[in-house]
């Protein structure tokens, strides 16, 4: 994990593998800041949706029990939203480096759309 100082706060930059391990351990809450359409097509299992246009740092839950990790498609939007949250008084925020593209490139499992049914389906990790 890397860190970036933003004003008085710290933006943690996690790799997809670090996020996956923390998800498996129940240590984090993943928030997807992509559009609802992107999320519906494919997403990290268990991730919550808070799209960029509706992102309100003051609405984020506290992080006493679990760290919040933001992610988007490439890491650009989630990094912007993490910095915005820090500027609004959140002391510590995290985002996933490389976004969902990096998650898939790392071969991690996710929820995707079954093209034949249009329904959600667990997609296995790449071999």
Main-chain phi, psi angles of 71, to 5 degrees: -150, 155
Identify the H or E element spanning 40. Answer: helix 36-41
Residue 89's pLDDT is what?
A: 86
* DSSP strand pairing (110-113 vs 120-123): antiparallel
For 42-82, the pLDDT digits (tens) are 999 999 999 988 888 888 877 788 999 999 999 999 999 99
Structural tokens at position 51: 């799209």
- If pLDDT is split at 50, 70 and 90, which confidence band does 13 have? very high
Residues 123, 34, 99, 44: is their CA dihedral positive or negative?
A: negative
Mean local confidence (pLDDT), 35-40: 95
Pair 96, 111: CB distance under 8 Å: no
Name the pLDDT band for 127 (thresholds 50, 70, 90): low
Domains with residue ranges and CATH for the chain: 2-109 (3.40.250.10)
Summarised one tens digit per residue, pLDDT across range 99-126 is 999 999 999 999 999 989 999 999 987 6
């Amino acid at each position: 994990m890397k860190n970036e100082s933003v004003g008085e706060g710290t933006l943690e930059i996690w790799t997809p593998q670090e996020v996956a391990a923390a998800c498996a351990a129940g240590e984090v809450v993943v928030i997807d800041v992509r559009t609802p359409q992107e999320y519906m097509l494919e997403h990290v299992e268990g991730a919550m949706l808070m799209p960029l246009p509706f992102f309100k740092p003051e609405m984020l839950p506290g992080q006493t029990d679990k760290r919040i990790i933001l992610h988007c498609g490439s890491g650009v939007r989630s990094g912007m939203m993490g910095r915005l949250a820090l500027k609004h008084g959140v002391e510590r925020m995290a985002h996933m480096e490389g976004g969902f593209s990096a998650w898939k490139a790392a071969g991690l499992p996710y929820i995707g759309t079954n093209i034949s049914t249009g329904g959600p389906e667990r997609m296995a990790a790449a071999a």
